[in-house]
Amino acid sequence: MAEEKQNVEVEETAAAPVKEETQPQQDPKEFLENFDWDKYEEGIERVDDNKLKEFETLVEENFVDTADEEVVEGEVVHMTDREAIIDINAKSEGVISLNEFRYNPDLKVGDKVEVLIDIREDKTGQLVLSHRKARTIKAWERVNNAHDKEEIVTGFVKCRTKGGMIVDVFGIEAFLPGSQIDVKPIRDYDQYVGKTMEFKVVKINHEFKNVVVSHKALIEADIEEQKKEIIGQLEKGQVLEGVVKNITSYGVFIDLGGVDGLVHITDLSWSRINHPNEVVDLDQKLNVVILDFDDNKSRIQLGLKQLEKHPWDALGDEIKVGDKVKGKVVVIADYGAFIEVAEGVEGLIHVSEMSWSTHLRSAQDFVNVGDEVEAVVLTLDREDRKMSLGIKQLTPDPWTDITSKYPVGSRHKGIVRNFTNFGVFVELEEGIDGLIYISDLSWTKKIKHPSEFVTVGDTLEVEVLELDVEGRKLSLGHKQTTENPWDKYSDEFAEGTIHKAAIAEVVDKGATINFNEDIVGFVPQRHMEKEDGKKLQKGEEAEFKIIEFNKDFKRVVASHTAIFREQEDRNVKAAAKKRATSSDEAAPTLGDANSQLQALKDKMEADSKKK
Residue 52 is predicted with a pLDDT of 59
Residue 474: exposure state from Cβ atoms within 10 A (0-12, 13-18, ≥19)? buried
For the chain, the domain total comes to 6
DSSP three-state, residue 175: strand
- What does the alpha-carbon distance between residue 142 and residue 145 come to, in Å, rounded to a whole number? 5
Sequence-separated (6 or more) residues with CB below 8 Å from residue 547: 495, 527, 557, 558, 559, 562
Residue 606 lies in a domain: no
Mean pLDDT by 10 residues, the chain (611 residues): 40 40 53 60 57 59 52 85 83 80 82 78 70 78 83 87 86 85 77 87 82 84 71 81 90 84 89 86 90 77 86 76 89 88 87 78 84 91 87 85 88 89 88 89 84 90 89 88 80 85 89 85 89 87 88 85 74 61 55 61 61 50
165 and 207 share one domain: yes
Which domain, by its residues, includes 503? Answer: 486-576
Report the alpha-carbon distance of residue 158 to residue 390 in Å, rounded.
67
Q: For residues 160 and 300, give the distance between their C-alpha atoms in angstroms, rounded to a whole number.
A: 35
State whether 361 and 407 are in the same domain. Answer: no
pLDDT at 4: 41
Residues 406 and 457 in one domain: yes
Q: Which helix (H) or strand (E) holds 28?
A: helix 28-34
50: β partners: none
pLDDT for 188 equals 80
- Same domain for 285 and 315, yes or no, is no
Residues 156 and 180 in one domain: yes
405 shares its domain with 348: no
pLDDT for 15 equals 37
607 located within any domain: no
Please give the Cα distance from 474 to 236 (Å, whole number).
Answer: 61
Q: Are residues 292 and 344 in the same domain?
A: no
Q: How far is CA 113 from CA 77, 84, 127, 135, 155, in A?
A: 11, 11, 16, 9, 19
Domain assignment present for 282? yes
Residues 208 and 197: their CA atoms lie apart, in Å, by 25
Q: SS3 for 469-515, per residue?
A: CCCCEEEEECHHHCCCHHHHHHHHCCCCCEEEEEEEEEECCEEEEEC
146: left (phi over 0), alpha (psi -120 to 50) or beta: alpha
Q: Is residue 30 part of a domain?
A: no
CA distances 551 to 335, 488, 495, Å, are 47, 10, 12
pLDDT score for 129 = 82
Q: Are residues 344 and 408 in the same domain?
A: no
Same domain? For 436 and 507 the reply is: no
- Inside any domain, residue 39: no
Asked, for residue 16, whether it belongs to a domain, the answer is: no
Contact between 343 and 270 (Cβ < 8 Å): yes
Within a domain: residue 467?
A: yes
Note whether 517 and 548 are same-domain residues.
Answer: yes
Predicted TM-score of the model (pTM): 0.41
Among residues 279, 303, 327, the one where a domain terminates is 303
- Tell me whether residue 59 is in a domain: no
Question: Running DSSP on this structure, what letter comes out for residue 266?
Answer: G
490 in the same domain as 477: no
**Shared domain check, 386 and 409:** no
Domain boundary among 416, 447, 482: 482
> CATH no. for residue 98?
2.40.50.140
Phi-psi region for residue 30, left (φ > 0), alpha (ψ -120 to 50) or beta? alpha
Last residue of a domain, one of 273, 303, 333: 303
User: For 561, which DSSP code?
Assistant: H
What pLDDT is attached to residue 51? 62
DSSP secondary structure code for residue 138 in this structure: H
